[in-house]
Amino acid sequence: MKKSFISILCIFFLFVLTACEEKKETSQKVNETNKQQVNNDKKETDISEKNKEKEIDDKVAKLSNWETVDGIGKMRQIGFGYNDELGIDGTDNPVKPYNFDDKVKLQIENLTLVQIKLDDKGAALFNSYQDQKVIMVKYKLINDSKDQLDFESENMKITLPNDEKINPERNLSDYYGIDKPIKAGETIEGVASFVLNDDNDVNKALLFVHGPMNMDVNKKNYSSHTFNFDILSVRDSVIKDIENK
């Protein structure tokens, strides 16, 4: 009986040892599989990050290209303005017009910070060969009223964080005024350009827009408005736009 019990006990231990060994092998396989999965996930993440970085680099290079501008020199974009009120937010959604009222609207298409390398003609215009930084505002004024309006972009104003106030450079801006009234039902497009006085980085700007004036002195004029812009570098703008898609 004792011999029989010992035999049974030996068989039992053999079974336990075999089971433990199988369990150990299974655990090792699971660990190896998990480790392989982690490595694969890391490789996929690394590839994804490299592809994203390449996409960013390619877009930055494209947006920062120097372009020749006749009569001035070469120009490239170095920053872009964002304003949620106007729908300039880095998404693909259309920009939002600002309503002076339900018939007269201002649509800011974009605010762009550019750098200009002057040629001889440009140097004569600026009275300098030094590189220039310029904030350019592209806009539309939509006149769906029955009145003729006087809208003068030269009455716009940029205020920088240091409280410096800059008026548009008339030679670089589109001009509409009392001698070129905006007719009833007409939409006009233009650019207002603000030449910065120094080479410091600009990350914010207040854009003051004088309200349109009615050519009929017996009718109302429109209230002015100020828009607050955050200005991001080209790289930061590209990253923001990618994240918002």
Cβ neighbourhood burial of 44 (10 Å; 0-12, 13-18, 19+): exposed
The pTM (predicted TM-score) of the whole model is: 0.80
Show the tokens assigned to 13.
Answer: 């231990």
Report the pLDDT value the prediction gives residue 16, as an integer from 0 to 100: 43
User: Is the pLDDT higher at 215 or at 199?
Assistant: 215
> What is the Cα–Cα distance from 229 to 200, expressed in whole angstroms?
17
Residues 18 and 133 in one domain: no
Question: What pLDDT shows up at residue 34?
Answer: 63
Q: Which helix (H) or strand (E) holds 219?
A: none
Are residues 58 and 154 located together in one domain of the fold? no
Same domain, 52 and 97: no
The residue out of 13, 34, 63 marking a domain boundary is 63
22 vs 230, which has greater pLDDT? 230
Residue ending a domain, choose from 42, 63, 84 = 63
What pLDDT, in 10s, does the model give residues 155-208?
Answer: 999 999 999 999 999 888 887 767 789 999 999 999 999 999 887 789 999 999
How high is the mean pLDDT of the chain?
A: 85
CB-based burial, 121-142: b 16+ in 10 Å, e otherwise: ebeebbeeeeebbbbbbbbebb
Q: Which amino acid is at 154?
A: E
Domain extent at residue 210: 67-243
Which H or E run contains 32?
helix 2-63
Q: Report pLDDT for 9.
A: 38
Q: Are 230 and 82 in contact (CB under 8 A)?
A: yes
Domain identity same for 53 and 72? no
User: For 132-161, what is each residue's pLDDT tens digit?
Assistant: 999 999 999 999 999 999 998 889 999 999
Reply yes or no on whether the pLDDT at 45 is more than 60: yes
| Same domain assignment for residues 54 and 112 | no
Give the model's pLDDT for residue 12. 45
For every residue of 123-157, DSSP letters joined together read: HHHHT--S-EEEEEEEEEEEE-SSS-EE--GGG-E
1-25 tens-digit pLDDT: 444 544 543 444 444 445 445 555 6
When divided into structural domains, the chain yields a total of: 2
Look at 29-38, 53-62, 144-153, 221-230 and tell me which has the smallest mean pLDDT: 29-38
